[in-house]
Amino acid sequence: MSRFYSVFTGTGSYVPAKQIKNEFFHNCEFYDSAGEKLSTPNEEITRKFEEITTIAERRYAEDDEVTSDLALIAAQRAIDAAGADKEELDYIIFAHNFGETTKDNIRMDVLPTMAARLKQKLGIANPSAVAYDILFGCPGWIQAVIQADYYLRSGDAKKILVVGADVLSRISDPHDRDSMIYADGAGAAVMEAREGDSPVGIIGHNSRSDALDYANMLHMGYSYNPQLAEKKDYYLKMNGRRLYQYAIENVPKTIKSGLDKLKLHISKISKVLIHQANGKMDDAILKRLFNLYDLKEVPERIMPMTISWLGNSSVATVPTLLDMILRGKMDGHTLRSGDNIVLASVGAGMNINSIVYRIP
């Protein structure tokens, strides 16, 4: 029976030009959560950090760039790639976590919404192009894609722009070692409804929220530097150890549950595009996923990685990774018609989601 499926017809991303290598943090003053200055030399801190996360550098927005600027570039690239008329968009869904911030004011600004700002910057006049935001932690862009899929499959929409962008460099505490994980960026995709008899595009998805026990593993708090804390500005904080354990225990199960719904075995998956939060954590997640199928060997090159040089750009990591592969910018990674891929993410909430996508 013929039905509508959701497909990506164009993708785009924006990776800021400012490269921040780990050596950048050698002159920082790091404190612990009790406000005590760390005695460990910064060279040793960054060395251990890279061993644990695999992050050697990340990208930061320029001082005169704001989140919607990054999103505008990614969105326009996606629209151009799709050959779409922006006035024909039915929805603009903008995933983020910290709204608009500036170099001189890190306080979250979401009035008007980020989607409304983006629509204005794109110059879209059509009032039927409904623009709204979604906050879902790092999995926000994937959750926005899931929402778009419902609109497209129901016939409510024909063309949707889904964007994910965050500038984490401004809301990460410069005196907290964990701040070295974070980066800035934007990714976007145009999604369209395609009618057919054979499943294509998004063929399934799965989400979960574990707020009862894990809601506060990522939260906002004052700087670890007692003097900076007096300003009462909020910075991004995390319980790294518990988050790591939560992710490696629950992300594999969530992905498998999504595959089980489709009666699809992991051996039928060509690529796993997972949120780039910690390189070793992602390796552990993938290994545990295959262990759930009693498979001890993980296929080579099934999980493309950008974290070593792009860091963790929150909602932007998965769409940026997808766009880079589709544009031939990831050596050794290509996608062919008929390939099944998994897009998955985990983050604040705590939330996990995954999508199974069949390349048209």
Mapped to the 3 state alphabet, what secondary structure does 266-296 carry?
Answer: HHHEEEEEECCCCHHHHHHHHHHHHHCCCCC
What is the tens place of the pLDDT at every residue in 135-150? 999 999 999 999 999 9
Residues 152 and 236 in one domain: no
The three-state DSSP-derived secondary structure of 135-172 is CCCCCHHHHHHHHHHHHHHHCCCCEEEEEEEEEHHHCE
**Given 154, 178, 196, which residue is the final one in a domain?**
196
Checking if the pLDDT of 77 tops 80, the result is: yes
Structure confidence at residue 89 (pLDDT): 98
Residues 179 and 207 in one domain: no
Span 150-170, average pLDDT: 96
Residues 8 and 126 in one domain: yes
CATH number, domain of 292, equals 3.40.47.10
What is the tens place of the pLDDT at every residue in 43-63? 999 999 999 999 999 999 999
d(CA 271, CA 255): 13
d(CA 97, CA 108): 9
Average pLDDT value for the chain: 95
Nearest to 167 by CA among 248, 98, 216: 98
Checking if the pLDDT of 218 tops 80, the result is: yes
Structure confidence at residue 1 (pLDDT): 66
**Given 149, 170, 196, which residue is the final one in a domain?**
196
d(CA 136, CA 157): 22
Quickly list DSSP for 291-351: HTTT--PPPTTSS---HHHH-B-GGGHHHHHHHHHHTT-STT----TT-EEEEEEEETTTE
d(CA 253, CA 256): 5
What is the tens place of the pLDDT at every residue in 241-274? 899 999 999 999 999 999 999 999 999 999 999 9
The neighbouring-strand residues paired with 91 are 130, 160
Q: Return phi, psi of residue 115, to 5°.
A: -65, -40
Residues 301 and 154 in one domain: no
Structure confidence at residue 196 (pLDDT): 86
Please give the C-alpha separations between residue 3 and each of 90, 152, 195, 338, in angstroms, as whole numbers: 19, 11, 5, 18
d(CA 143, CA 162): 10
Residues 88 and 208 in one domain: no
18 exposure class (CB count in 10 Å sphere: 0-12, 13-18, 19+): middle
Residues 174 and 269 in one domain: no
Residues 191 and 210 in one domain: no
Which residues form the domain of 176? Answer: 3-196
Token pair listed for 16: 């800021």
Q: Scan for tokens 């644990």, then name that residue.
A: 52
**Given 181, 196, 211, which residue is the final one in a domain?**
196
Checking if the pLDDT of 300 tops 90, the result is: no
Residues 191 and 205 in one domain: no
Number of domains in the chain: 2
Q: What percent of the chain has pLDDT over 90?
A: 93
